Amino acid sequence: MKIKIERSQKEKTLKKKKERVISVGKHRKMVLALWVLLSCSLTFGIYKNFTAIDQHTIHEKVVLKEKVVNTSGVENFTKDFAKEYFSWKNNKEAIEKRMSTLEQYLTEEGFSLSRDMVRADIPTSSEVQSVKILDVEKHSEEFVVSFLVDQKITEGKKTQSISSAYRVIIFEDENGNHIVISLPTMVGKPEKAQYEDKQLESDSEIDAKTKEEITEFLETFFNLYPAASEKELEYYVENKAVQPINSNLKFVGLINPIFQQKGKEIQGEFYVKYLNMTTKVSSTFQYTFLLKKCENWKITKTKYN
């Protein structure tokens, strides 16, 4: 006996509602657009990877070439001015002549200020012995010039020498003409520089025999050197490291030679004493040579300390 169960229309409807429906192609255009965008991005990335220029930080070294300024004109002008400015005689006529000359160097204000520098009643007179330029600084159209002036001051029968340093400002126009725009102002005189001699000693690695050989070589060389020609020097010197001097000198001796190992060469520092046969005075010269042993010892380079 077959039992047939009939389901109501309502139940069938509910079953259909419960079935999961997957929609295909609803957002197809959006998906395609995303794929296209992804492909373009990938393609652009690959392109940039192959065509990109490596970017590195480039440190450019800028070499600034100093412009050479010809200061000979302003230096000569300063010297001429200083000789007139610091020279005087204690009489009216000489003072008037001095002021007439200074008028060619000074501005109106500078000329006015310097009028009472020298009076007829002062007991001294001055003669400039020398003017030495110490420094020149260029500032646009102006030059700041420092100089040293040596004077001989006479007062009655008494004479003394003085030395003073001054600073003055000189204006230069486009035609190279000059004028003093600042009167000489006294500044500190340059002093002797502080320097400590280097205490060198010969290398202990260089044996006594080698030192003796080099010393003998140098004594022979310096005995011949004053009168030696360039051709004769070739036996002792490489690459024209020492040039002929063609002087009337007589070799006296080698003083305090010091030898140090410099790679395959030996550096020698020493003094050489000569007697000048013309002036009859003795002179001591200082040398620093690099030497090497070939068939005989040779000077390969001259160094200057």
Q: pLDDT value at position 303?
A: 82
CA separation for the pair 154, 161 (Å, rounded): 9
Radius of gyration of the chain (CA): 46
Same domain for 262 and 158, yes or no, is no
Q: Which of 90-104, 170-184, 201-215, 262-276 shows the lowest mean pLDDT across its residues?
A: 201-215
Over range 209-219, report the average pLDDT: 94
Q: Is 210 exposed, middle or buried (0-12, 13-18, 19+ CB in 10 A)?
A: middle
pLDDT at 262 over 60: yes
pLDDT at 202 over 80: yes
Structural domain includes residue 154: yes
pLDDT at 277 over 80: yes
Structural domain includes residue 200: no
pLDDT at 223 over 50: yes
Q: pLDDT value at position 28?
A: 62
Over range 204-228, report the average pLDDT: 93
For every residue of 130-184, DSSP letters joined together read EEEEEEEEEETTEEEEEEEEEEEEEETTEEEEEEEEEEEEEEE-TTS-EEEEEEE
| 65 HSE (CA, 13 A, CB side) | 2
Q: pLDDT value at position 86?
A: 97
Last residue within a domain, chosen from 187, 222, 242: 187
Same domain for 265 and 174, yes or no, is no
Report which of residues 173 and 1 the model is more confident about.
173
Over range 116-128, report the average pLDDT: 92
Quick: pLDDT tens for 136-174: 999 888 999 999 999 999 999 999 999 999 999 999 999
Same domain for 267 and 228, yes or no, is yes
CA separation for the pair 108, 114 (Å, rounded): 10
Q: Are 224 and 244 in contact (CB under 8 A)?
A: no
Number of structural domains the chain divides into: 2
87 is in which domain, residue-wise? 72-187
Same domain for 98 and 175, yes or no, is yes
Name the band, by pLDDT with cuts 50, 70 and 90, for residue 3.
very low
Same domain for 216 and 155, yes or no, is no
Structural domain includes residue 298: yes
Q: Are 234 and 195 in contact (CB under 8 A)?
A: no
Across-strand partners of 266? 261, 291
Q: pLDDT value at position 255?
A: 94
Structural domain includes residue 14: no
Q: pLDDT value at position 245?
A: 92
Last residue within a domain, chosen from 135, 153, 187: 187
Over range 291-297, report the average pLDDT: 89
Q: Give the number of other CB atoms < 10 A from CB of residue 142.
A: 15
Average pLDDT for the chain: 85
Same domain for 176 and 228, yes or no, is no
Determine the length of the chain: 305
Structural domain includes residue 106: yes
pLDDT at 48 over 80: no
Same domain for 114 and 219, yes or no, is no
Same domain for 173 and 220, yes or no, is no
Over range 223-238, report the average pLDDT: 93
Last residue within a domain, chosen from 187, 221, 249: 187
Q: Residue 75's closest CA among 129, 134, 126?
A: 134
Q: pLDDT value at position 199?
A: 79
Q: pLDDT value at position 201?
A: 84
Q: pLDDT value at position 113?
A: 94
Q: Give the number of other CB atoms < 10 A from CB of residue 225.
A: 21
Same domain for 122 and 175, yes or no, is yes
CA separation for the pair 165, 110 (Å, rounded): 19
CA separation for the pair 79, 182 (Å, rounded): 15
Report which of residues 304 and 52 the model is more confident about.
304
Same domain for 183 and 146, yes or no, is yes
Q: pLDDT value at position 5?
A: 47
Same domain for 78 and 166, yes or no, is yes
Structural domain includes residue 144: yes
Q: pLDDT value at position 291?
A: 94
Q: Is 14 exposed, middle or buried (0-12, 13-18, 19+ CB in 10 A)?
A: exposed
Instruction: Report the CATH number at residue 112.
Output: 3.10.450.540
pLDDT at 21 over 70: no
Structural domain includes residue 19: no
Structural domain includes residue 290: yes
pLDDT at 63 over 70: no
Q: pLDDT value at position 60?
A: 63
Same domain for 176 and 76, yes or no, is yes
CA separation for the pair 219, 30 (Å, rounded): 100
Name the band, by pLDDT with cuts 50, 70 and 90, for residue 65.
low
